[in-house]
Chains A and B, each alone.
Chain A
Amino acid sequence: MTTNVYDKLIFELSSPGRVAWSLPEMDVPEGDARKLLPEKHVRKDAPALPEVSEFDIVRHYSRLSRMNYGLDTHFYPLGSCTMKYNPKLNEDMARLAGFARLHPLAAEALAQGALQVMHELAQDLAEIAGMDAVSLQPAAGAQGELAGVLMIRAYHLSRGEKRTKVLVPDSAHGTNPASTAIAGYEVVEVKSLPNGEVDLDVLTRTLDTDVAAFMITVPNTLGMFEPRIVEITELCHASGVQVYMDGANLNAILGITRPGDLGFDVCHFNLHKTFTTPHGGGGPGAGPVGVKAHLEPFLPVPVVTKDGDAYALDWKRPSSIGKLQAFWGNFGMLVRAYTYIRTMGPDGLRSVSDNAILNANYIMKRLETDYDVAVPGPCMHECVLSARRQKKLGITATDIAKRLLDLGFYAPSTYFPLIVEEALMIEPTETEAKETLDQFCDAMIQIAREAETNPAVIHDAPVTTPVRRLDQTKAAREPNLRWTRRA
């Protein structure tokens, strides 16, 4: 089945003497670099990079691309990842020379257009989240979390409070505890109710003057809105605890409700989720972070400011937590997100969340008889199913994911959140059409039938992909992390 699949690496195409580059002539008098540099700094042997033609390259990487499922080619119902259509116009705008070819250290006067994009985007995000100020600097959600928790830390310290713990629900994304730990806090895991909601009794017992922050995802990782969220943020504030919202699920609430209005002090945005910048096979993303006014002095430097018609980078912020990236943020992603927000406008963004919620509820309804629903609906922008019924038949969430690949769909997120057995987390997003949702639901129902009548076809899956199930154990026991020429 898989014998005819392309199996080359670029190194295996190399033929000594081939070139794929075109470089200018050496037009200066002394062209011998080795005479210009002390010998001890100079490489002894040319690096073992491939020697191939330009067309070799184009065909190789085109063929490799076809070994991927991308959002442009396949429905990608990955829960928590918001795999929505990435508009092509965003790409054109990010590639304008005035943006793509602008040097980060260009004098402010020579970068007014870029600074205006950043200033307006920060304002838009602040309005969307109900926050007072936004830093665009964090490179991804996890870095936004780190920035947010560091600002909370700086805030407490500025008030002479040395709090040591941060509360994180057991249903949280792994980045939450990891970011918190880097910020120097002890992470205290808070047990959720079986329906994924915060257990207020547990929370009340856990809150004390040693707790710096409570970090939660809204809607939660089971795709449910936290019905007592306002009570929760008030409860935290009564103990002097700051409340952080993981904005991974912001796609559910655009124009419906705002983290700031719910009482959150900090939240981050994943521009590569809600705001349509591409995932690129694992980044780059962008993870701006928004704060309420009391945390504004601690924002990363520099902050883009506007005075009259002039935009500037403000470095004079003595309470700042410092910097997260060398420069100002993943600007290319910011241009894309700005383009998207301007394309949609306020009504369009509201309609995004309405349709994301509608699509998720439609899927949940269509699958509720064949799979166990983790929590009864209505859900928000994603729904979590459990394959515990199928597990009894020997079919796991992983098996279902692999079978979906054969049926022409990427897989839902599996085994997350950790508090749901055999979790299948499905997020369709607003950009998918009803007929795609129907085809996906038909495939899921087919798999549920197969689990009962023909489990072998599921265990064998996938058979239509370039490779079949891979030996993860071998990969971890005998790490092979770089290519070497076979002797």
Chain B
Amino acid sequence: MADVPKDLKYTREHEWAKQESDRVRVGITAYAQDQLGDVVFVELPKVGAKVTAAKNFGVVESVKAVSDLFAPVSGEVVEVNGELLQKPETVNQDPYGKGWMIVVKPANKAEWDQLLTAQQYEEYLAQGGH
């Protein structure tokens, strides 16, 4: 079973979200990177862009697959992991750490509670993850 840290929240599209004071850090889960295989390219929004919960904010690509990235929460992008452009493999190597993608300043706190808990996400994966 894939690694699912207890302190994070999750989406059904396999993004994780981490509360950091008033901001939310976002990446894709260990399960997601494993399903994709070797990540070769990540396309992320610019700092200042607005993202909307459950809407596409970027793209992650492996050699033969493209996967849209979905924002766990709505808000403004305040940080982007520019290193992924040069080193996309970081997403495979450290999905919950150096492989993070964006940091969002949430616009709607209520959205946080809609996200899956680690336990719910694990159950979701156990049912096949889609």
Contact = CB atoms under 8 A, between A and B. Distances in A.
Q: Do chains A and B touch in the complex (CB under 8 A)?
A: yes
Interface stretch (A283-291, A312-320, A378-386, A471-479): A471-479
Contacts of B1: none
Interface string B31-62: 00000001011000000000000000000010
Contacts of A415: 64
Contacts of A475: 63
A415 B38 CA distance: 18
Interface string A412-432: 000100000000000000000
Contacts of A473: 38, 40, 63
A418 B38 CA distance: 20
Nearest to B88: A477
A241 B63 CA distance: 37
A209 to B, nearest CB: 28
Interface string A449-474: 00000000000000000000000110
Nearest to A415: B64
Contacts of B38: 473, 477
Contacts of A477: 38, 40-41, 88-89
A472 B40 CA distance: 10
Interface in B51-93: 61, 63-64, 88-89
Residue in B38, B61, B88, B89 whose Cβ sees the most chain A Cβ within 10 Å: B38
Interface residues of A, number: 6
A476 B89 CA distance: 11
B123 to A, nearest CB: 24
Interface in A314-370: none
Nearest to B89: A477
Contacts of B63: 472-473, 475-476
Interface size classification for chain B: under 10
A475 B40 CA distance: 9
Contacts of B89: 477
A417 to B, nearest CB: 15
A476 B36 CA distance: 14
A476 B88 CA distance: 10
Contacts of A472: 63-64
A129 to B, nearest CB: 34
B44 to A, nearest CB: 16
Q: Which of B41, B63, B64, B88 has the most A CB atoms < 10 Å from its CB?
A: B63
B84 to A, nearest CB: 11
A223 to B, nearest CB: 23
Contacts of A476: 40-41, 61, 63
A475 to B, nearest CB: 8
Interface in B5-43: 38, 40-41
A472 B64 CA distance: 9
Nearest to A477: B40
A415 B41 CA distance: 22
Nearest to B63: A472
Nearest to B38: A473
A415 B65 CA distance: 12
A234 B88 CA distance: 50
A415 B64 CA distance: 11
A72 B64 CA distance: 29
A415 B63 CA distance: 14
A394 to B, nearest CB: 16
A476 B39 CA distance: 9
A76 to B, nearest CB: 22
A475 B63 CA distance: 9
A479 to B, nearest CB: 9
A422 to B, nearest CB: 14
A477 B62 CA distance: 9
A420 to B, nearest CB: 16
B60 to A, nearest CB: 12
A477 B88 CA distance: 8
A126 B54 CA distance: 48
A432 B63 CA distance: 34
A19 to B, nearest CB: 42
B62 to A, nearest CB: 8
B41 to A, nearest CB: 7
Contacts of B40: 473, 476-477
Nearest to B40: A476
Interface string A473-487: 101110000000000
Contacts of B61: 476
B111 to A, nearest CB: 27
A53 B61 CA distance: 44
Nearest to B41: A476
A439 to B, nearest CB: 30
A472 B62 CA distance: 10
A114 B59 CA distance: 49
B83 to A, nearest CB: 13
Interface string A87-98: 000000000000
A32 B41 CA distance: 50
A255 B41 CA distance: 48
Interface in B73-127: 88-89
A65 B60 CA distance: 36
Given A473-B40, A477-B38, 8 more contacts: A472-B63, A472-B64, A473-B63, A475-B63, A476-B40, A476-B41, A476-B63, A477-B89
10 contacts: A415-B64, A472-B63, A472-B64, A473-B38, A473-B63, A476-B40, A476-B41, A476-B61, A476-B63, A477-B41
Interface of A: 415, 472-473, 475-477
| 3 A-B pairs closest in CB distance | A476-B40, A473-B38, A472-B63
